[in-house]
Structure 1
Amino acid sequence: MQNTIEKGVKTYLNYINGEWSTSSTKEVLSSINPANKDEIVGYVQSSSREDLDTAVAAAKEAQKAWRKLSGAARGDFLYKAAAIMESRLEEIAESMTREMGKTFMESKGETARGVAILRYYAGEGMRKVGDVIPSQESDALLFTTRVPLGVVGVIAPWNFPVAIPIWKMAPALIYGNAVVLKPASEVAVTAAKIMECFDEAGIPAGVVNVVTGKGSVIGQGIIDHPDINGITFTGSNTVGKQVGKGALNRGAKYQLEMGGKNPVIISKDADLDLAVDGTISGGLRSTGQKCTATSRVFVQSAVYDEFKEKLLAKVKELKVGSGMEGETWMGPCASESQLNTVLYYIEKGKEEGATLLYGGERPSENGLDNGFYVQPTVFENVTIDMAIAKEEIFGPVLALIKVETIEEALELANDTEFGLSASIYTKDIQNILSFINEIEAGLVRVNAETAGVELQAPFGGMKQSSSHSREQGQAAIEFFTSIKTVFLKA
């Protein structure tokens, strides 16, 4: 919490009931540039439960009229917001890079994805929301329709500050819900810029609201609030379980997308250059800060040494630095806390007997010691019971594990509490079919990296990675609406 404001640094406000407002606490939080910890990107509100209550009340009232609009009319607002966001793409992307560290190229790609998601769901307003069912009575009409939940609380993480809030808010809105967004404080400046696009699009007051602040206050407030009918959450397993328990206790609908310990399997017949590129991109892009990031690399022994040699040669070429510098391939960790977590797991890997092949240190040249940087890191001689093979690190750490057969790789890949994404590199159709059938993951990719899913396709995990619902695509309607069955007889 902070009361002293650095001169020249902008303070961003909450967006409640169509107005920008300071929090009732009159206190702010600093958003720090992880590439340079001395730079404050902006100040955001450290809000109270009172501020959240005001936002929820506004959303509850606004939703009454919003749900009565046609899907096409609601979609028009999303189309307008998309056009505005597209016109401000580089500005929003720069904010993202300065707040959480990913490269400017990645930030532009993510912002463009946010634009595409808005347009996709705008189109959903013209698609069907029910089915006609044959009735046993010849003079009756039996059909289903869908109704919105009401007010949806969105608790979003810091690693995708544009894409994740939008892929939650856009379907919530198109299906007739009102939204209260609690962004991660680390990226709340970017969240404010998203809200500016909705505001400029003229969305009715109260339909979309953003309240920034501590998770223990605003996040917990969303979990507990009796007038929030559904909660969609992306984040850690620990917090996700708190969300689920709290929502269940008061009968609210909830959706959880949580951790991953995502494997890639490299078959002896794989295109090794393609596999190396996919492993590096999947594991180290965004500094490994993706729930779908590659973490465990199972390589058949026949090609293990060749794969390792190619992998290390390319990893050593990766340029670490500020995401705003064009030649940078990998930026810093998003925060000092996240950096410390990554460094802890690197030390844990060494202590438990894994062999550090490359990286594992904080770079200090060219002023990098003033940011939250860590080198891309590769371990080998990793066993499945080690912490770096079992626990989510959320950082640029790859664990190489040698296997003899694809069957062994599948068994070890499934030996985890998580089940989000997985991939295999092979040319053998039997390997492909076995992988598709046997891998315990919600997202399966063949000859492609573990990270990434197209926006029109369902996304979600198995086991402890998810509450078993799905986000994105037309599957989103299942969470953001309830089915109403209608029997009509004249």
Structure 2
Amino acid sequence: MTKHLKLYIDGEWIDSANPKLQDVINPATQEVIAKASQATKEETEKAIRTAKRTFENGVWSEQTPSARAEILLQIADKIEVNLNELAELEVMNNGKTKREAEADVEDAVNTFRYYAGLLHNQMDEAFEADKDLQTVIVKEPMGVAGLIVPWNFPILMSVWKIAPALAAGNSIILKPAEITPVTAVRLYELMEQTDLPKGAAQLLLGTGSVAGQTLAEGNDVNIISFTGSTKVGQQIMQAASENLKKVSLELGGKSPNIILGDADIDLAVDYALFGIFMGAGQVCTSGSRLLVQESIYEEFIEKYIEKAKAIRVGPGNDTKSEMGAIVSEKHMESILNYIQIGVEEGAHLALGGNRMESDGLEKGFFIEPTVFTDVTSDMRIVREEIFGPVIVIQKFKDEKDAIQIANDTDYGLAGAVFTKDQAKAIRIIKKIRAGITWVNTYHLSSVQSPWGGYKTSGIGRSLGKYGLDEYQETKQINISMNPERLDWFEGNK
């Protein structure tokens, strides 16, 4: 029987008054795996009222950091015990491989544990501002946090927002992507089994145009944290401006991966493949622009295409699969359209470019690993985020040329450089206008490190202590150590 996914408001699972249910699809088979409720504007407003009431009554916000940390650890334990189930659900709903899904769930466990530990280490700051004035700097929760997450990392992106927002003492409202709500529902079922107070966490399923927009506009929502496309991020920022709520945005990318002539070519090929084809390219930080120095251009491309041809594409639950499905038919068509645009623009289609419809893949949304060479910076496939298994490879002359091409983009999320010259690597990486960068590696990062971008790739940072700061207000408290009359106004003596 197909599971019916409900909303979670004030500690209760409820059906939406909206009779329309969203079919939730397995992108590897097009099988309907669940039907999800669609929150109305009124239900979203109820979730906001509940979160505000819970925050103001202090049942969560006024708990000690140690008490909050203990509950975060309870949630981490619940996720860890159910790791296999959560990974299987992620594969089924998102289409990624089991290996990728397992890594995501493990990272989710680590994220909750990290923020539990961080709470034990966060200290107020105190200093003597004057001989008679003691100043204390404290961090306080913001209030109601609206958390809107994308479809490419459903459980991990949820946890990247939930863990720091709860750690800070906020009441939260999570809205997962409309097409990938399954693991969010299961996560909330597990959170319900902990000591997290009723009303501290709400879950809204449904559309961005209703639930997401209502959260962004809501006067009683104190912060909106959104991960997704730049276009939607701009819409959220505009809606949030009505009451000047804080906005934290992690948006699109078109990240450069620079391969210098002195690089270890085999190493660079390995990470360049991982940089774009992990997650079928549906990763915000994907190294979707390969910049290769002209002295090794032909050799690099030959090795790269040979390796890309061998990537095993298939259902995520098949342990032999190395690249899974595209998340939806709509997104698959968008990627295929970009491939056609690239051909029409005159880029050389060196590999792939087609939907895969043989060997049992005809029912799913699969696209071949696709390689364009001989591209130029003015092409749409170079400038716009495709968000799929499509790499564009561009030639450069020297270090100065590489930096100019790398920064010739509206985005600034990530970037990398491969070279055996460490001094050159640091010199180049410091000039790349991006928030997440690598030298001789790609995609590897940790929960302790801030995550976010420059330019149209977003505002604010997730993860690390910076991620906790995103969900806190900073207050100064000034204490007179020698209270005396000021007598500023002589006439009042």
- Contact 2:27–2:92 (8 Å) recurs in 1: yes
In the other structure, the counterpart of 1:483 is: 474
Given residue 131 of structure 1, which amino acid in structure 2 is its aligned partner? E
Q: Does 2:114 correspond to 1:120?
A: yes
- Contact 2:18–2:40 (8 Å) recurs in 1: yes
CA distance in 2, matches of 1:331, 1:477: 33
Given residue 415 of structure 1, which amino acid in structure 2 is its aligned partner? D
The Cα shift of 1:224 comes to 1.0
Per the normalisation by structure 1, the TM-score is 0.96
Q: Of the candidates 94, 98, 102, which is equivalent to residue 96 of structure 2? A: 102
- Contact 1:62–1:207 (8 Å) recurs in 2: yes
In the TM superposition, what whole-angstrom CA distance separates every residue of 1:158-186 from its partner, at most 9, and x where no partner exists? 00111111111111111110000010011
Bigger-Rg structure (1/2) = 2
Given residue 489 of structure 1, which amino acid in structure 2 is its aligned partner? S
CA distance in 2, matches of 1:30, 1:363: 24
After TM superposition, the structure 1 = structure 2 runs for residues 139-288 of structure 1, keeping only pairs within 5 Å, are: 139-288=132-281
Q: Of the candidates 461, 470, 476, which is equivalent to residue 461 of structure 2? A: 470
- Contact 1:292–1:452 (8 Å) recurs in 2: no
> What SS does the aligned partner of 1:185 have?
coil
Q: Of the candidates 13, 24, 29, which is equivalent to residue 36 of structure 1? A: 29
CA distance in 2, matches of 1:202, 1:299: 53
Given residue 488 of structure 1, which amino acid in structure 2 is its aligned partner? I
CA distance in 1, matches of 2:111, 2:391: 31
Q: Does 2:362 correspond to 1:362?
A: no
Q: Does 2:304 correspond to 1:311?
A: yes
Q: Of the candidates 402, 406, 422, which is equivalent to residue 399 of structure 2? A: 406
In the TM superposition, what whole-angstrom CA distance separates every residue of 1:418-465 from its partner, at most 9, and x where no partner exists? 00000011011332122122111111100011x342111111100110
- Contact 2:416–2:429 (8 Å) recurs in 1: no
The Cα shift of 1:128 comes to 2.2
CA distance in 1, matches of 2:17, 2:66: 37
- Contact 1:140–1:488 (8 Å) recurs in 2: yes
- Contact 1:63–1:150 (8 Å) recurs in 2: yes
> What SS does the aligned partner of 1:187 have?
coil
> What SS does the aligned partner of 2:256 have?
strand
- Contact 1:211–1:218 (8 Å) recurs in 2: yes
Given residue 464 of structure 1, which amino acid in structure 2 is its aligned partner? T
CA distance in 2, matches of 1:45, 1:215: 14
- Contact 2:417–2:429 (8 Å) recurs in 1: no
In the TM superposition, what whole-angstrom CA distance separates every residue of 1:362-402 from its partner, at most 9, and x where no partner exists? 11112312111110000101001001110000000011111
- Contact 2:172–2:202 (8 Å) recurs in 1: yes
Q: Of the candidates 32, 41, 44, which is equivalent to residue 52 of structure 1? A: 44
Q: Which runs of 5+ in 2 are unaligned?
A: 482-493
Given residue 112 of structure 2, which amino acid in structure 1 is its aligned partner? L
In the other structure, the counterpart of 2:390 is: 397
CA distance in 1, matches of 2:398, 2:203: 51
In the TM superposition, what whole-angstrom CA distance separates every residue of 1:326-371 from its partner, at most 9, and x where no partner exists? 1001111101111011101100000000000000011111231211
CA distance in 1, matches of 2:247, 2:285: 21
Q: Does 2:439 correspond to 1:439?
A: no
Given residue 369 of structure 1, which amino acid in structure 2 is its aligned partner? E
CA distance in 1, matches of 2:384, 2:186: 34
In the other structure, the counterpart of 1:134 is: 128
The Cα shift of 1:129 comes to 4.2
In the TM superposition, what whole-angstrom CA distance separates every residue of 1:95-114 from its partner, at most 9, and x where no partner exists? 11111110011001000100
The Cα shift of 1:249 comes to 2.1
Moved over 3 A (4+): none
> What SS does the aligned partner of 1:365 have?
coil
After TM superposition, the structure 1 = structure 2 runs for residues 17-96 of structure 1, keeping only pairs within 5 Å, are: 17-37=10-30, 39-64=31-56, 65=58, 66-96=60-90
In the other structure, the counterpart of 2:488 is: none
Count of residue correspondences: 479
> What SS does the aligned partner of 2:430 have?
helix
The Cα shift of 1:80 comes to 0.4
- Contact 1:71–1:124 (8 Å) recurs in 2: no
> What SS does the aligned partner of 2:392 have?
strand
CA distance in 2, matches of 1:139, 1:383: 65
In the other structure, the counterpart of 1:343 is: 336
CA distance in 2, matches of 1:133, 1:305: 61
- Contact 1:24–1:50 (8 Å) recurs in 2: no
In the TM superposition, what whole-angstrom CA distance separates every residue of 1:126-179 from its partner, at most 9, and x where no partner exists? 12243113211x233111101111000001000011111111111111111000
CA distance in 1, matches of 2:20, 2:234: 29
Q: Of the candidates 277, 286, 295, which is equivalent to residue 293 of structure 1? A: 286
The Cα shift of 1:29 comes to 0.8
In the other structure, the counterpart of 1:15 is: 8
Given residue 27 of structure 2, which amino acid in structure 1 is its aligned partner? P
Per the normalisation by structure 2, the TM-score is 0.96
CA distance in 2, matches of 1:219, 1:122: 28
Q: Which runs of 5+ in 1 are unaligned?
A: 1-7
> What SS does the aligned partner of 2:290 have?
strand
CA distance in 2, matches of 1:129, 1:420: 31
- Contact 1:70–1:125 (8 Å) recurs in 2: no
Aligned alpha-carbon RMSD (Å): 1.0
CA distance in 2, matches of 1:477, 1:363: 43
After TM superposition, the structure 1 = structure 2 runs for residues 315-326 of structure 1, keeping only pairs within 5 Å, are: 315-326=308-319
CA distance in 2, matches of 1:26, 1:204: 30
Given residue 301 of structure 2, which amino acid in structure 1 is its aligned partner? K
